[in-house]
Amino acid sequence: MKILRFSSNLLTLGLLAFGFASMANAQATRTWVSGVGDDANPCSRTAPCKTFAGAISKTAQFGEIDCLDPGGFGQVTITKAITIDCDSGPGGILAASGSGVVINTGTGPVILRSININCDTLATNGVNVIASPNVHLLDMNIWGCTGSGVVVGASTQVFITIKDTQIHDCANGISTSTSSGIVLGDIDHVAIWGGTNGLAAGIASHVNIHNSTIFATTTAINNNGGGGSAVSVFNNVLSNNSTAVQSVAGGNVGVSSNTIIGSSPVFNTNSGTISTGSDNISMLNGAIGTTNGSPISKI
């Protein structure tokens, strides 16, 4: 009887130990980072982590990492659906190489909000989307990248929205392409300046850009994806770019209700198709160039 009681007690202790270990290893649905945090912490509100990389390993799928205060929280690779929200104070990433944020997951959404990414002319991309069904970038500030502020170079279909964001002094502002499916993009209230292309829409890209500003680039809108790529350009300001809109063979660009200033040429079909309405405003432009698509009309 004593032997049985002793064995039972051991079993109970073992189960308790296993339970405590499981609790310790459990991922939280919400974690926090702070400029004065420590990645050895559990990433709770009262014991926050120091970096996004430290917090993401302790955050459950579909969970959220919040910034308690402004700080530099380091580069991060995202491999699951997650939100990183630094609305309480901008979260900073100083990218020394590669990309500030890499997104490579088969699940979504991935949401980034109020994050400053400084490529410091050393890193290639601010945000690099390799795979994710849904990506949403809100209130971002990205600069100094030798590649693109935001690049979608996926092998799967991606839906990406970029809103209330500044991208500047990068070789390219936003670049999109995919080798499978399509890139569906919506760009709203985004300011892009400096570099070669403001928006470079590559293979299988269907992108809308509206209520946005692109200035001081070589080409503001460049549909360089060929067949299957389409860009809708409505209600934007395209200012002081060498070329405002360009489209390569097989690509389609629709341009309506924009203010276009200081470009020459405004349009470069470059064997592609550009369609316009009669409602664009032209100011201080040199050569207008030609358009060759069906006129945009109200229906």
Residues 18-77: tens digit of each pLDDT: 343 343 457 999 999 999 999 999 999 999 999 999 999 999 999 999 999 999 999 999
Residue with tokens 């699940």: 107
For the segment 222-238, the average pLDDT, to the nearest whole number, is 92
Say what the pLDDT of residue 298 is. 67
Residue 24 included in any domain: no
Residue 129 included in any domain: yes
Residue 10 included in any domain: no
pLDDT tens profile 232-255: 999 999 999 999 999 998 899 999
SS3 61: strand
Say what the pLDDT of residue 250 is. 86
User: Which amino acid, 240?
Assistant: N
Residue 253 included in any domain: yes
- CA nearest neighbour of 112 among 81, 83, 76: 83
Query: CA-CA distances (angstroms) from residue 299 to 127, 168, 217, 296?
Result: 38, 37, 34, 9
Residue 11 included in any domain: no
Residue 240 included in any domain: yes
Rounded CA separation 123/272 (Å): 32
Residue 189 included in any domain: yes
**What DSSP state is assigned to residue 271?**
B
pLDDT tens profile 101-147: 999 999 999 999 999 999 998 999 999 999 999 999 999 999 999 99
Residue 47 included in any domain: no
CATH code of 152's domain: 2.160.20.10
Rounded CA separation 282/267 (Å): 12
Domain that holds residue 67: 61-283
When divided into structural domains, the chain yields a total of 1
Confidence of residue 227 (pLDDT cuts 50, 70, 90): confident
